[in-house]
Amino acid sequence: MLTTAFFSTAKSFTSIFGADFVAFDLQMKCSLLAGSGIFSAIFIHLQQLVKLNKIILICKRRLRVAVATCNRADYSKLAPIMFGLKSHPEEFELEVVVLGSHLIDDYGNTFRMIEQDDFDIGSKLHTIVRGEDEAAMVESVGLALVKLPDVLQRLRPDILIVHGDRFDALALATAAALMNIRILHLEGGEVRSGTIDDSIRHAISKLAHYHACCTRRAEQYLIAMCEDHSRILLTGCPSYDKLLSTHHKEDYKDIIKAWIGDSVQAQDYIVALQHPVTTDIQHSIKIYGLMLDALLSFNKKTLILFPNIDAGSKEMVRVMRKKGIEQHPNFRAVKHIPFEQFIQLVCHAGCMIGNSSCGVREAGAFGTPVINLGTRQTGRETGENVLHVRDADTHNKIYHALELQFGKRYPCSNIYGDGNAVPRILKFLRAIDLDDPLQKTFCFPTVRDSISQDIDHILETQSALSVDLGGTNLRVAIISMKGKIVEKYTQPNPKTFEARMQLIVKMCLDAMRDAITFNCRILGVGVSTGGRVNPQEGVVLHSTKLIQEWSSIDLRTPISGALHLPVWVDNDGNCAALAERKFGHGKGVENFVTIITGTGIGGGIIHNSELIHGSTFCAAELGHIMVSLDGPECSCGSRGCLEAYASGMALQREAKRLHDEDLLKVEGMDMKLSEPITAAHLINAARLGNSKADAILNRAYTALGVGVVNILHTMNPSLVILSGVLASYYQDPVQKIINERALFSAQSIKVVTSDLEEPALLGAASMVLDYTTRRQY
């Protein structure tokens, strides 16, 4: 009957040859047309009509999508997508592949929950080699790679959906990529803490052709990893589609009663789930034991789930059994809980503890307080509900974290999704053109890091050791993240290199010892010194005349070797600019110049938020900008430099000259015979009407103002910051000269004086704080 109907359809086409085009909608696959007998003949005839431009064949067929799930965790993310695909049978043909720990009794035989969700499992692959150590993981990947080609060859999916960062998923992606099967990767671009999971996740991203990522930062990381932006979709996490709909269900009391006990109330119990860190198994086992000790001491009802199948899980289970957790009246230890019930338990818990991704992802949607232990999740984006305990020697720190978190409620976070991930993914799948090539394009955007809470941020103050090498004094300070000088130490600067280095190390060691008393954690050492510095190598190339025996000196190596801390070194003028960028008027300003008006004149230039050093590290030697060809001699050997006109040394020299000529002192000026003549005497004399002193200061003001105008016309900063003891005297005159002599477009640039008390020390500290706090400790 089918043959007759089809033959009749074909005959109707031959009766309208006169038409230019005829639409013919084939409701079955083209491959069936070329089967046998009359179907083959009709197909050949229709092909001839196409060649004659008499007919268009439109082949409508469903997109065949294979979804591969390896464990209970990834199924919670994949199940919403599977339900979405299943609800559109006219568009998608769903194939389900199950492998990994789903099929192992010790881990709950969780494939049964897939069957209970009424999915047909087309392929079950036993791919796990038992042993729960590193070698077993490698062998499991190999076994999966042996078995997967036959399955993929049989299914021939148009696209394979793979989730996350598991070793099983790596085998799936490897096999599919080598067989030219398109891969859609879920949760690419996310970062944990440098464990093997991160490496696997990024390896899968590089094998995948399309990406459905959960956060804006993950999207940016994928772009930075060279992935094509047009093939990246920011969807949110698919599990949020389900958990947000179950958030307000009223059966949570029955679920709590079933899993924890009759008398337990909402927010009066703890959910614990800790997995091994495969790159540091022994440490993760230690943290696991300390967590159990803290939970035992905390004495609250606790639902604890067994760890996953990663290397180290057997040892963790042994620790749990050695402590009698399974028999303890406060604990309920289980291998698996259905996702909908588990998420209700997390939602209404007084606290969740461990290192499961659920704690930093799903728990945030409910505002459940979370304690994240160890390093497994520290790179992940989190809401304010997550408190990190990266390391602990006793269970006391974890116990203290429980005291801080238990029973709190935080604002709900939507970092990982808004509940509409599946519709976005289905729309993305519909848009895939199977005729498109699979080649990738590349781009490298910048990515900003986020800051998360940390138990050590609460218990300790992250700080830097700051060293300032002046011509007279050597100063060391402990400086906190907020720029507070916790403690400062001052000693006369020795004249010889050896004595100076010994004193620096001694003062730093003393400060580190005191830092413990002040509850400060020292992250590194920043050194500010006069002269030309190569900050990349930590070497003083040429110093000022005030600091003897201080050229071609490697400061980084001996200080770092003695203190076992990272060390940064830079010129004192550059440090002043860095201090303004982090703590002063330059905070948030992309382009500005700092000019130090002290004994000498120096400074630093910030351009596009970065410090300029120059090709030979002598950028921003602002004191040696020449404003006259035949001016006074400068300490650098040239003439007419700013420093020769406007520095403290220059004003002191002129004050002494007037004093020697008996032209300095005027009526009302208090001046003791024994005191040394300084720039302050010159300024005071000018204020009291000394015309000679006033003329010298006017010349200094003018020279500095002209130099600043030159800087404005060269760098075009948006702000000029004057620092040093003479800054307040120079501010108004310099602003006036800018208004008179600068180009119209630069006349609006403001001159301000620094509010910072110790710019050299603060700038040296900022080198440490800005760099080290980008990393997690």
pLDDT digits (tens, 9 = 90+) for 188-231: 998 875 568 888 999 999 999 999 998 888 998 898 888 888 89
pLDDT digits (tens, 9 = 90+) for 528-557: 998 889 999 999 998 776 677 778 889 999
Place of tokens 């049964």: 112
Q: Same structural domain for residues 616 and 745?
A: yes
State the Cα–Cα distance between residues 370 and 378, nearest whole angstrom: 13
Residues annotated within the binding site for Zn(2+) are: 624, 634, 636, 641
- 178 in a structural domain: yes
CATH number at residue 481: 3.30.420.40
Q: Same structural domain for residues 504 and 591?
A: no
Q: Same structural domain for residues 651 and 731?
A: yes
Q: Same structural domain for residues 631 and 491?
A: no
Q: Same structural domain for residues 572 and 639?
A: no
pLDDT digits (tens, 9 = 90+) for 304-327: 999 988 888 889 999 999 999 999
Query: Last residue of some domain: 177, 211, 237?
Result: 237
What is the spatial order of strands in the sheet that 182-186 belongs to?
121-125, 92-99, 63-69, 159-163, 182-186, 210-213, 232-234
CATH number at residue 398: 3.40.50.2000
Query: Last residue of some domain: 176, 205, 237?
Result: 237
Q: Same structural domain for residues 200 and 256?
A: no
Could you tell me how far CA 549 lies from the centroid of its own chain? 42
Give the number of other CB atoms < 10 A from CB of residue 692: 17
Query: Last residue of some domain: 584, 614, 633?
Result: 584
**Is-contact 369 408, C-beta < 8 A?**
yes
Consecutive H or E run containing 372? strand 370-373
State the Cα–Cα distance between residues 211 and 214, nearest whole angstrom: 10
Closest CA to 85 of 517, 582, 428: 428
- 738 in a structural domain: yes
pLDDT band, very low/low/confident/very high, at 674 (cuts 50, 70, 90): low
- 774 in a structural domain: no
State the Cα–Cα distance between residues 398 and 554, nearest whole angstrom: 42
Q: Same structural domain for residues 391 and 477?
A: no
- 118 in a structural domain: yes
Q: Same structural domain for residues 190 and 161?
A: yes
Max CA pair span of the chain: 127
pLDDT band, very low/low/confident/very high, at 15 (cuts 50, 70, 90): very low
- 423 in a structural domain: no
* Token couple for 500: 């100076």
pLDDT band, very low/low/confident/very high, at 38 (cuts 50, 70, 90): low
Taken in order 734, 736, 742, 745, is the CA torsion positive or negative?
Answer: positive
**Is-contact 560 567, C-beta < 8 A?**
yes
| Residue range of the domain that includes 489 | 456-584
pLDDT digits (tens, 9 = 90+) for 732-770: 999 999 999 999 999 999 999 999 989 999 999 999 998
With 0-12 / 13-18 / 19 or more C-beta atoms within 10 angstroms meaning exposed / middle / buried, residue 490 is: middle
Task: Give the CA radius of gyration of the chain.
Answer: 36
State the Cα–Cα distance between residues 194 and 375, nearest whole angstrom: 8
pLDDT tops 80 at residue 136 = yes
Closest CA to 2 of 25, 33, 31, 23: 33
State the Cα–Cα distance between residues 614 and 626, nearest whole angstrom: 18
Q: Same structural domain for residues 499 and 591?
A: no
Q: What is the DSSP string of 162-214?
A: EETT-HHHHHHHHHHHHTT-EEEEESTT---SSSHHHHHHHHHHHH-SEEEES
Give the chain's length: 777
- 356 in a structural domain: yes
pLDDT digits (tens, 9 = 90+) for 392-442: 888 999 999 999 999 999 888 878 888 889 999 999 999 988 888 776 665
Q: Please identify every residue annotated as catalytic.
A: 572
- 9 in a structural domain: no
753 phi and psi angles, rounded to 5 deg: -100, 145
pLDDT for res 40: 55
pLDDT tops 70 at residue 8 = no
Q: Same structural domain for residues 485 and 567?
A: yes
Q: Same structural domain for residues 607 and 517?
A: no
Q: Same structural domain for residues 604 and 575?
A: no
Closest CA to 523 of 489, 560, 469: 560
Give the number of other CB atoms < 10 A from CB of residue 483: 18
- 435 in a structural domain: no
Strands 553-554 and 210-213: unpaired
pLDDT digits (tens, 9 = 90+) for 230-288: 899 999 899 888 777 665 567 889 999 999 998 899 999 999 999 988 878 888 899 99
pLDDT tops 50 at residue 18 = no
C-alpha dihedral (433, 436, 437, 442), degrees to nearest 10: -80
Closest CA to 133 of 310, 282, 280, 307: 310
Closest CA to 708 of 611, 772, 607, 627: 627
Number of domains in the chain: 4
State the Cα–Cα distance between residues 85 and 395, nearest whole angstrom: 47
